Amino acid sequence: MPKQVHVRLDDRVYQTLTEFATVTNRTVQDCVSDALISLFSEKYKEPRKGSGRFTFIDLFAGIGGMRIAFESCGGRCVFSSEWNKYCQKTYFDNFGVMPHGDITQIEASAIPDHDILVAGFPCQPFSIAGVSKKNSLGRATGFLDQTQGTLFFDVVRIINEKRPQAFLLENVKNLKSHDHGNTWRVIMAALEELDYEVF
């Protein structure tokens, strides 16, 4: 259940907020919430400067396992994204950085340039356990899962825009056999179309 915070605003601020809400066709509450999220995201975003043998971005970051691995090899993370609020909190506790939220709402051009893209894109639509559960609930799996199944294409969108030197996509065993291998063929075709050599 959403928590409530009561804030006093002077007339000028309230008027500006009301006008913004009207223009964007949203509620005043949603505008305030987004403004606060933006404020904290800006405060706790990845530092732009620092040393590292290479730079990387951490997509579908979870609680930061891939970040630990890449930092231990001398990498410097310049951007992270994770939509789950509990994972975001743990990530913040682990690294002092609040990951950006829903990657589908982030323009690829807004993501900093980087050497390596790291993505643990959601496995639930493809994994053996995830597919079994979704089937039992009568839900779509793979790319037909509109919430999580299409997130691979956001990775493609970002690779196409930023052209990193390399990328690492982590996923599950069933990815190659899902939908009789069709899912794997789509993934390979999309990545090879970007003119990368894929292993």
User: Which residues are marked as active site?
Assistant: 123
Nearest residue to 100 via CA among 114, 86, 88? 88
Q: Which residues of 11-30 are buried (b: 16+ CB within 10 A; e: fewer)?
A: eeeeeeeeeebeeeeeeeee
CA dihedral sign of residues 19, 22, 25, 29: positive
Nearest residue to 164 via CA among 120, 189, 194? 194
CA angle centred on 183, ends 182 and 184, rounded to 5°: 90
- Residues 31/17, Cβ–Cβ less than 8 Å: yes
Helix (H) or strand (E) holding 77: strand 75-81
The CA distances from residue 55 to 72, 115, 136, 146, 150, in Å, are 12, 5, 42, 31, 26
Residue 162: alpha-carbon gap to chain centroid: 15
